[in-house]
């Protein structure tokens, strides 16, 4: 088995660089980062930022997951989550077969409620439960929507496909997440719902964001705005527009377009002040708290860790905020705490993220990178940190 010394993102970057027959200096010349930084990441002295990993993947013309090691199959098998992925993959593949003659679906309202329940479970980070029930719900919704088409059923099916995307991303199956978004578009088109279609563009933009394709991500955000520009400014429309601006902010931050970050955040803040908490709209969690969280995320993406810490200290998480969003905040705060020398606080944040959302935290690449960084920074590794490192498979 690989040891902690050779099973980290930097080691995988080194391996792929050598397979590409590049020296460190040659790869560094293709990156917007220094040779020194690359050297430190490869030897494990510094954790890799998501932006750095994406830049390396682009320079080496490989997927980001090759460098992050996702999906983390050993841990997924140990948690018996890997076995839940194949049925989801199959349910996405069989979308065009129409009604199943051997299936008797539940009444439409129960299916619609079921789609909402799975969205809620993902946001409560009950991934196992959601993944187990999702394929059956997709089969029933497909049968019902094809047999007795209605806008509500097609919307529910699009929502189920969106849940497939969310689960796939959280477990590191990015290829499957892309298929799920294609299916979401297929169902949203049949529902004639421009808001769902715009949400799908937002989620597509984040896929390209993870891969380091920031220009494409920005174009997709713009396309999402265009889809609802001609509609009345309802609360639903404003919430989706606001979320698009939040997506645009983090993409602009990664692309080092600080003025665009400010514009997107300001517009999202204006909308949030107007409509308040709109977390009930398409499960986007849009509202004042989410604007503040994205502002902090943008600072982290720009490596402005002191500013991120300042933002984090001023954030009060409201009780309705989903567990998944709380855990994500803690993971990002841990990164900022580590980078500003507050290693004990960083470990405490990660332990709290694990308590709130164990599955999400265990498979989150940023959490794993921060744990790796804490291990290498510690002269004497605390027992809690040793447990965390072993827990994520380092």
Q: How far is CA 115 from CA 108, 110, 327, in A?
A: 11, 9, 23
pLDDT at 229: 86
The pLDDT confidence band at residue 378, using thresholds 50, 70 and 90, is confident
In sequence order, the β-bridge partners of residue 278 are 286
- Average pLDDT over the chain, rounded to an integer: 92
The answer on pLDDT for 155 being more than 50 is yes
Has domain 193-321 been given CATH number 3.40.50? Answer: no
With 0.85 as the threshold, say if the pTM is over it.
yes
Write the secondary structure of 34-59 as one string of H (helix), E (strand) and C (coil).
CHHHHHHHHCCCCCCCHHHHHHHHHH
pLDDT at 232: 77
The pLDDT confidence band at residue 4, using thresholds 50, 70 and 90, is very low
Give the mean model confidence (pLDDT) for residues 116-143. 95
The pLDDT confidence band at residue 393, using thresholds 50, 70 and 90, is confident
pLDDT at 88: 96
Domain spanning 1-69, CATH class: mainly alpha
Rg (CA), the chain: 21
The pLDDT confidence band at residue 2, using thresholds 50, 70 and 90, is very low
194-203, 257-266, 297-306, 379-388: the lowest-pLDDT one: 379-388
pLDDT at 188: 94
CA distance 58 to 212: 7
Give the mean model confidence (pLDDT) for residues 138-152. 95
Give the mean model confidence (pLDDT) for residues 192-209. 94
The pLDDT confidence band at residue 377, using thresholds 50, 70 and 90, is confident
Contact 269, 291 (CB under 8 A): yes
Domain ranges of the chain: 1-69, 72-191, 193-321, 325-394
Instruction: Please name the residue that has the structure tokens 């993406």.
Output: 301
pLDDT at 108: 95
The answer on pLDDT for 273 being more than 80 is yes
CA distance 99 to 103: 8
Q: Is the C-alpha dihedral spanning 303, 363, 127, 84 positive or negative?
A: positive
- Each residue of 9-53: pLDDT tens digit? 999 999 999 999 999 999 999 998 999 999 999 988 888 988 999
- Quick check: bond before 326 cis, omega within 30? no
**What angle do the packed helices 151-171 and 194-210 form, to 10 degrees?**
10
The answer on pLDDT for 170 being more than 90 is yes
End-to-end CA distance of the chain: 11
pLDDT at 6: 64
More confident residue, 327 or 232: 327
- Each residue of 62-119: pLDDT tens digit? 999 899 988 888 888 888 888 999 999 999 999 988 899 999 999 999 999 999 999 9
The pLDDT confidence band at residue 260, using thresholds 50, 70 and 90, is very high
The pLDDT confidence band at residue 367, using thresholds 50, 70 and 90, is very high
The pLDDT confidence band at residue 5, using thresholds 50, 70 and 90, is low
pLDDT at 1: 36
DSSP reduced 3-state for 281: coil
Burial track 255-272 (b if 16+ CB lie within 10 A, e otherwise): bebeebbeebbebbbebb
């Amino acid at each position: 088995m690989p040891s902690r010394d050779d099973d980290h993102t930097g080691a995988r970057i080194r391996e792929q660089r050598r397979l590409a027959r590049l020296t460190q200096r040659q790869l560094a010349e293709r990156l917007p980062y220094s040779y020194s930084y690359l050297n430190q990441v490869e030897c494990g002295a510094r954790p890799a930022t998501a932006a750095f990993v994406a830049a390396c993947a682009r320079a080496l013309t490989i997927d980001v997951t090759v460098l992050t090691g996702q999906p983390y199959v050993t841990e997924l098998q140990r948690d018996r989550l890997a076995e839940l992925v194949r049925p989801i993959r199959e349910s996405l593949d069989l979308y065009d077969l129409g009604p199943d003659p051997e299936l008797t679906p539940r009444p439409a309202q129960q299916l619609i409620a079921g789609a909402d329940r799975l969205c809620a479970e993902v946001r409560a980070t009950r991934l196992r439960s959601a993944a187990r029930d999702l394929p059956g719900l997709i089969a029933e919704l497909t049968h019902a929507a094809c047999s007795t088409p209605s806008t509500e059923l097609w919307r529910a099916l699009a929502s189920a496909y969106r849940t497939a995307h969310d689960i796939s991303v959280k477990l590191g199956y990015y290829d499957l997440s892309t298929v799920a978004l294609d299916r979401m578009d297929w169902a949203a088109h049949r529902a004639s719902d421009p808001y769902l279609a715009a949400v799908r563009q937002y989620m597509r933009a984040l896929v390209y964001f993870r891969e380091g394709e920031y220009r494409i991500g920005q174009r997709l955000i713009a396309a999402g705005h265009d889809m609802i520009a001609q509609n009345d400014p309802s609360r639903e429309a404003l919430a989706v527009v606001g979320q698009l601006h939040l997506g645009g902010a983090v993409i602009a931050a990664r692309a080092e377009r600080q003025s665009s970050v400010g514009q997107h955040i300001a517009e999202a803040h204006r909308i949030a002040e107007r409509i308040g908490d709109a977390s009930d709209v398409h499960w986007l969690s849009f509202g004042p708290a989410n604007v503040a969280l994205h502002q902090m995320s943008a600072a982290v993406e720009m490596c402005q860790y002191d500013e991120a810490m300042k933002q984090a200290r001023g954030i009060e998480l409201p009780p309705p905020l989903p567990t998944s969003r709380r855990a994500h905040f803690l993971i990002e705060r841990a990164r900022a705490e580590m980078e500003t020398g507050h290693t004990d606080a960083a470990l405490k944040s990660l332990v709290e993220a694990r308590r709130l959302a164990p599955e999400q935290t265990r498979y989150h690449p940023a959490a794993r990178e921060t744990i790796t960084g804490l291990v290498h920074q510690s002269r004497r590794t605390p027992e809690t940190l040793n447990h965390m490192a072993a827990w994520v498979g380092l």
